[in-house]
A and B are shown apart, each in its own frame.
Chain A
Amino acid sequence: EAGVTQFPSHSVIEKGQTVTLRCDPISGHDNLYWYRRVMGKEIKFLLHFVKESKQDESGMPNNRFLAERTGGTYSTLKVQPAELEDSGVYFCASSQTQVGYEQYFGPGTRLTVT
C-alpha cells in the first residue's frame, strides 16, 4: 500500500511568486492534515480536512495560504504571494479517523523563498 506522497520534494521560488504544494493521502483516509516546520522551530499544525471539508484551519498563518481538497482525495496548499518567512518544510499527514488513530506522514516539501 502506498504511503502519503507529496510533490514537489523541494521548491525554490522568489519572493512574490506563487507555489502550489500537493499531497496524496493514503487511499481511504478521510482525514488529511497539513503541518509546517520553519527553521529551528517545532512542527506546527496548519489545517485539517475531513473528506473535502475544512474541519479546522486555525493554524493557517494568513490569507496568503489557501488549501483545497476537491473531491476528498488529494489536497493542494497554495502560497500566494510567497514571503521569505514562508520558507520551511511542509508536511502532509493522513489518518483513517480523526482521533485515536495514527497519523501517517509524507516526506515533506522543502520550500525555499529567496
Chain B
Amino acid sequence: KQEVTQIPAALSVPEGENLVLNCSFTDSAIYNLQWFRQDPGKGLTSLLLIQSSQREQTSGRLNASLDKSSGRSTLYIAASQPGDSATYLCAATHRNQFYFGTGTSLTVIP
C-alpha cells in the first residue's frame, strides 16, 4: 500500500527566505506527483504536476523535483512572501488512485 509522508508538519520562516518542503512515498511505482496549496476554508489549488518520467517542474518561484528511486519529492519556494502562507500537500498517483500526504503548514512572517 502506498503511503505518503510530509515533513515537517509545520514550518515558520521570515519573509524573503528560501525554503524546501519534503514529500516521501513508499512505493516508487507512481504515475505522477502533484503539489497542492490549500488556504483555510478553501479547496486545493494545483501548483505543479510532475510526471514519473520528469525530474522537475518550475512555475515562477516554485520548483518541484522528483526522485522516484529514492521515493522523494521536494517543493522549493524561493524568496518566500506572506502570501505563501498556506498548507502544502503532495499527492502521488499510484495504481490510478491519489495518495495524499498530511501536509505542511507554512507560515511566512512579514
1/0 per residue, CB under 8 A from B, across A1-19: the answer is: 0001010000000000000
B100/A99 in contact, CB under 8 A? no
A103-B102 CB under 8 A given contacts A42-B4, A56-B96, A59-B97: no
B96/A48 in contact, CB under 8 A? yes
B42/A107 in contact, CB under 8 A? yes
A55: chain B residues at CB < 8 Å are: 96
Interface segment out of the listed B14-22, B43-51, B58-66, B73-81: B43-51
B43: chain A residues at CB < 8 Å are: 4, 6, 91, 105-108
A91/B44 in contact, CB under 8 A? yes
1/0 per residue, CB under 8 A from B, across A30-71: the answer is: 000101000001111100100000011011000000000000
Name A107's closest neighbour in chain B (CB-CB).
B43
Name A33's closest neighbour in chain B (CB-CB).
B98
- A85 adjacent to chain B (CB < 8 Å): no
Among A94-114, those with CB < 8 Å from B are 98-100, 102-108
B49/A102 in contact, CB under 8 A? yes
Per DSSP, are chain B's interface residues mostly helix, strand or loop, or mixed?
Answer: strand
State which size class the interface on B falls in.
Answer: 20 to 34
A44: chain B residues at CB < 8 Å are: 100
How many angstroms between the C-alpha atoms of A48 and B34 in the bound complex?
18
B41: chain A residues at CB < 8 Å are: 107
How many angstroms between the C-alpha atoms of A42 and B80 in the bound complex?
25
B32/A99 in contact, CB under 8 A? yes
B32/A56 in contact, CB under 8 A? no
Name B31's closest neighbour in chain A (CB-CB).
A99
Which single member of B34, B99, B101 contacts A103 (CB below 8 Å)?
A: B34
A108: chain B residues at CB < 8 Å are: 43
B91: chain A residues at CB < 8 Å are: 43
7 pairs across A/B with beta carbons < 8 Å? A33-B98, A44-B100, A48-B97, A58-B97, A59-B97, A99-B31, A107-B41
Given A4-B43, A100-B51, A105-B43, 19 more A-B residue pairs with CB atoms under 8 Å apart are A35-B98, A41-B102, A42-B100, A42-B101, A42-B102, A43-B89, A43-B98, A43-B100, A44-B100, A48-B97, A55-B96, A98-B96, A99-B31, A99-B93, A102-B49, A103-B34, A103-B98, A105-B36, A108-B43
